[in-house]
Amino acid sequence: MSLIKVTDLSLAYDTGRAVTELNFEVNDGDYLCIVGENGSGKSTLIKGLLGLKKPQGGTIEFSDGLKQTEIGYLPQHSSIQKDFPASVWEVVISGTQNADIGYRPWYTQSQKATAQSWMEVLGIEDMAKKGYGELSGGQQQRVLLARALCATKRLLLLDEPVAGLDPLVTQDMYAILRTLNHEKGLSIVMISHDIQSAVQEASHILHLHNTMLFFGSTAHYVSCSVGRRYLGGEQQ
């Protein structure tokens, strides 16, 4: 079942167009990796999917009951986030507010249960009272992932979730995302600079270069001319 359908989409920076003529779909259970060089429009596309950037042309349709407020989002890790003055519990449970309408000065039992559940899944329940800034980079990413998961039951968007992490922590993060996709049934859309890992993990690839060079299954990507060129199997 289709969750997102993008048709003839164009998005722009203030200084000019970032991506044009995008056509692709995200279905239930998909694991889509968006790849491409720096400046190819990957992060701009994510902002468009989140409703943070208005299309210059084309459409983004959400179907099968999905709302933009029901999408979990893990942004790129920043130095500001690393020193965020809050406990792990406060960071994680704040994600439950994403889909709520109206302001509440307290969290419901359901919201607390959701936060606790995802912390247990990600193995960070024993860190609940620790300061977020005290954690390692890998631990912080788990906390932010738990926060994003509190906001969704269906679709997770991730912008370079392993950037800056050491190889062991990177592999651990990929394993977590694999579990969320295969066992928890979450659809995943992830930006990645690591094409080699993308083709190992993803069911589908969207390759951007300010327009769409490729969209389709990973199996098709690795055998087509675009995939072979960028994976090193064909000279440019």
Query: Is the model's pLDDT at 78 over the cut of 70?
Result: no
Range of the domain at 189: 1-66+154-163+185-236
User: Which sign does the torsion angle of CA 47, 52, 56, 61 carry?
Assistant: positive
The closest alpha carbon to 197, from 176, 170, 220, belongs to 170
Confidence of residue 81 (pLDDT cuts 50, 70, 90): low
Confidence of residue 236 (pLDDT cuts 50, 70, 90): very low
Question: Looking at the 3D structure of the chain, how many domains does it have?
Answer: 1
**Entry pTM:** 0.89
Give the Cα separation of 176 and 36 in Å (integer). Answer: 23
Give the Cα separation of 62 and 175 in Å (integer). Answer: 28
Please report whether residue 3 resides in a domain: yes
Question: Strand 187-191 and strand 155-159: pairing?
Answer: parallel
Q: What is the CATH number of the domain that holds 19?
A: 3.40.50.300
Contact yes or no for 206/226 (Cβ under 8 A): no
